[in-house]
Chain A
């Protein structure tokens, strides 16, 4: 049970307070309700580029990092399709420094030309490092636009291409800030040896005077139901072929989410999962195979991905995979298997609650989904998933017309064509 209090400032800032007296640190998490999905399709990568600019100094504080480091604090941030999240930990005695820093950069940023120039280049290097200069790095740049044709999930957080980042202007970015970085568009969570009264006082003092309002109404194009299977094949400089398959599934707030998550665990999480046992161990077609869900706020994707053993044709591996899925849809899940993944998940939830920062993050994410107390309902929500629910879900999910398949083939691998017994 994760105890917490919740209050809202007059300016709309939602604040969550979780007390933990066992630690000398305080975790502060600020979640802004803006992600890559809120971007203009011709100016993608902004939410993430913007995250970088938040560290370039605010209106009253030229340098964000130094005062935090001086106070013994550490921080980072991440952006995804749905949210932009900033988090720090700081010794309890220096908590007010965190309030001073975070409230100032919510108030207004410095927007220096220099910082903008540099961070554009940094983000381009990040694009290179994570997506373009790694084997299999560009998979998501290919798979998302295949699966999504209308919804903004079709582009990645990093952006559609480096030119969007290179061509961004400081004015574009200022407009982005004004639109989204407001107290009524944010959730502030504190976890540590603090009281609600303390937090109320600090929040009112530092965040209270910020009176900017958000007028953005999220109204994103819905992804229409996919009516036929999609397919893409590419060749890249990688040592082995790979297959990626994506099926449209529900959103994080759908009641079927928990069954979907467990289904991905059953099929492809861990060495005792169905796909690993059948396709890696028994049939020797894949060297690794995984199943997972994107867990997005809007309807997301169920992914199965795997690397093929040398000499195995993608089309044969794909067929074998499809057969395993079909058998699952027909027979459903064994009672013992469902118990197993539930047991595993129970452990995972407990492990994730050890970290103070993680508790602060999870509380923020749950609040963003509509209710911070969801964090305490998760164990039951997962335990209550039934075998019929999973079987019916699988039948609905794994329809061929719901699927997008990417064959990511090695340009150098000729064995798959000539030597199937290698």
Chain B
């Protein structure tokens, strides 16, 4: 007869199964990192440029350049490009982040030979047609207007300004007029200055062997027609604390965001702060979730999150709470931060968060595609995959006293920036 009241015994995981990528270098100097596995027929190629929204001279240029590279090339103009990519079962996604931009190609290995020339054409000879640009601007502007209507997005935009400074490299964001102001020449210039081998690194995952790398080298390992150099961040960043409130008539919920700048990823306290973040709001059993959702029912979800950029790390608490619970939610957030400053976390809870996090890293590093993702997120910091073992080790060594010390240093409502959009 089993005793359902007794939990089965569990084991702790002490080490992650890290693999290092095989490194190649193209003739033009582009470093290529390969996470090889024959388990699936899917090849993923991430083409990363060390230039993002932080480096653009014109608002929207970074984003639009990536998008326009998908809107036709000299060899495959206009919609011909999308059609031929789809005909070969290729999925292309683009992302312009603050520090870097990525174009990702996802396809089946058997279609590689047909897809590589398309990839080459997109990188080296985007058409930047006036007609496609005109259409894209219209579409993107509409998309912006809809996105801007969402309280959560408006809150993010305002928070971004407070975290980094309104007209700074990290803090700027688009307004609707920027869509009108953007010119094709801005795109051409951004492409010329920021998209090129000198500014590029590539991460490949899947059934990829040296022959495939050689093929890629033949196509994109030679000279491109751009002047791109390694991009440098020019402006300073500036944080401003305090609360900003936007009222939306008839809002049923308030989008609440509360954040600040914390230590850089390479700082020795970063791993411990990651642990603190998880405990506060980084998983379902967190202090914030347990209180504000599972005890009070004020929201469908509340989280805290750390984002490490090359030049700053942000810490952010975010939720959409019932409009009538806006102040109550703010009070509880302050309460939870206060708890962490005043009272040492007990061993049991600390153990639980550590186990959870270990499982989370095990899961996040499962399989080559996940490993490649994780690699991509730290490589520009000059780190390699060993970092994850180091990270885990430091998190596990963190004691309650350290957490309290960090809480006192960083979790002060008076030192936070807060944005409320809604009630």
Contacts and interface: CB of A to CB of B under 8 A. Distances in A.
Given A24-B366, A288-B143, A104 B355 contact: no
Interface string A331-371: 00000100111011011001101101000000000000000
A107 B4 CA distance: 10
Contacts of A237: 250
Interface in B349-374: 351-353, 355-356, 358-360, 362-363, 366-367, 369
Interface string A47-82: 000000000000111000111011111100000000
A64 to B, nearest CB: 10
B142 A272 contact: no
B149 A73 contact: no
Tell me what chain A mostly uses at the interface: helix, strand, loop, or mixed. Answer: helix
Contacts of B150: 134-135
Nearest to A239: B145
B359 A73 contact: yes
Given A69-B355, A100-B7, A25 B362 contact: yes
A96 interface: yes
B139 A60 contact: no
Given A71-B355, A118-B294, A350 B145 contact: no
Interface residues of B, number: 74
A139 B387 CA distance: 46
Contact of A70 (B4, B10, B86, B108): B10
A245 interface: no
A238 B107 CA distance: 37
Nearest to B151: A133
A140 B295 CA distance: 30
Contact of A74 (B37, B40, B363, B367): B363
Contacts of A135: 146, 149-150
B355 A72 contact: yes
A70 B143 contact: no
A377 B359 CA distance: 34
A206 B86 contact: no
B300 A344 contact: no
A284 B135 contact: yes
Interface string B128-144: 00000001001100110
**Interface size range of chain A in the complex:** 35 or more
A119 B297 contact: yes
B234 interface: no
B385 to A, nearest CB: 16
Interface string B178-206: 00000000000000000000000000000
A353 to B, nearest CB: 7
A238 B145 CA distance: 9
A309 B142 contact: yes
A292 B238 CA distance: 45
Contacts of B250: 237
A129 B320 contact: yes
A220 interface: no
B82 A272 contact: yes
B381 interface: no
Interface stretch (B87-95, B160-168, B209-217, B308-316): B87-95
Contact of B321 (A69, A125, A136, A340): A125
Nearest to A240: B142
A270 B250 CA distance: 35
Given A347-B106, A350-B40, A354-B369, A72 B4 contact: no
Given A22-B367, A65-B284, A343-B87, A309 B297 contact: no
Nearest to B255: A133
28 contacts: A24-B362, A60-B5, A61-B7, A66-B285, A66-B352, A69-B285, A69-B359, A71-B10, A72-B12, A91-B13, A93-B10, A117-B297, A121-B296, A122-B294, A122-B297, A124-B322, A129-B253, A209-B2, A239-B148, A239-B149, A240-B145, A277-B79, A284-B135, A288-B143, A346-B89, A347-B106, A350-B108, A353-B40
Interface of A: 22-25, 59-61, 65-67, 69-74, 89-91, 93-94, 96-97, 99-100, 103-104, 107, 117-126, 128-130, 132-136, 205-206, 209, 237-240, 270-272, 277, 280-281, 284, 287-288, 307, 309-310, 336, 339-341, 343-344, 346-347, 350-351, 353-354, 356
